[in-house]
Structure 1
Amino acid sequence: MDLAKFISILKNSTLYFSAPDGFSDIYEGAHGELKNKKAWDDFYFSFARASIITAPDNRWHKIEPEKLKDNAKRLVKEISQTWKKGVYINCWYRSEFESEAMWKMYSVNVKNAIAIQTSYGNLKKELGEKVAIKPIRYVDYSKQFIGPNEEFWCKRKSFEYEKEVRAIIHDFSNTQNSGIEISVDLNKLIQNVYISPYSPKWFQEIVVDLIIRYGYKFNVLTSSMSEIPF
């Protein structure tokens, strides 16, 4: 992240969860490739149709086939749309080591970048039970479909290098926001703060000063990628 985002975290003691429509990946929330949509529709319409027919009151047994098909389509569409409304996502990189690709991707135009480190346990404890946390599953969309409720837990295999873990919350009272903030105890959440290997030496002093000014006690570490070889 850049310095402005880090200051926002320090000032507000919050983590920002973005609405997925602000992401650049066109496959966010996708079920599969468009060329295979009919097969996906047929499968889930059949599933929804069977669910309607086996409803406890049995009133759907007398419905005309075409109307039954329309109701099945409506059910599938409503399930998908409901899940996508009010979704907010916070993304993390999971690895024992830093990644040059990740530093460059998220600080390509910002040499003075920062990364914060936490653990799954700390993240789960601070965000609470309303927030789901899972690793992203990387899939081949040309060979499989992503079912309802799984759209935002999957990405294309071409993104596998990201080793992404997501925290996702549904807030149906705020379906139009570009993002929401969730309060956390930063002293309990953040284990270390890493300084970009591409930043000048003076930048670390500024980061340390800001942390102290806002009353925190994080370890501030220079990226191991800054080490000079021989």
Structure 2
Amino acid sequence: MNKHLLLVEDDDAIAQALGLHLEQAGFRLHREADGRHAMAAIDRQRWDLVLLDLMLPGADGWEVCRHLRERHADVPVIMLTARSAEAHRVLGLELGADDYLAKPFSMLELVARIRALFRRIEQLSAASPASHALRFGPFRLDTVRRELLRDDQAVPLTLREFDLLHFLLKHPGRPFSRGELLQRVWGAGFDGYEHTVNSHINRLRSRIEDDPREPRRVVTVWGVGYRFDLEPAP
């Protein structure tokens, strides 16, 4: 697979175990044990995926995640969190993390989650040419480059924001509950929170709505969830 991963983890024993299993799975791995050093590594190059512990010296995982999103919005992020820190996981997901695993976790499960994220990207890129570009209003969603353009100007999206918009665009006019969106976009194995969908919807609205407070494309269907309107009401 030859993907180059950045591991941000201050626990030497966990980092050593992760390095062994991930390299055996065919990934290249670079580790940083400090949040400030991790941000410098993000500035130096683009990584294929970031594995991010939240409790770090120097700068915490939330600050590292913000820094990454400002520079590389679409790089996948998997958070590594303490099992009891539910509020931490929620905040990390709301900042744009794509998945999380609670410690202690199975190394096989981690490898499976990483491969699942890469498969989502590859499946979209391998879609039929007719589905490579989806248009609405002044926007064009390019599934090969995995980018959203507005009048030929790139609009930054995280991996999950891109997947959510792509899914809604493929089903215009159909309302989906938050639970359905979690299953269809995040995946059946994602043990997430329905209000995580709300956070991603709000960020998506800030990218594509003229007035996110009065959305006309990603609209709320009261008592159900959300719907995407290709032809918004005036």
TM-score (norm 2): 0.22
**Structure whose CA Rg is larger:** 1
Bigger relative contact order (CA 8 A; separation at least 6): 1
TM-score (norm 1): 0.22
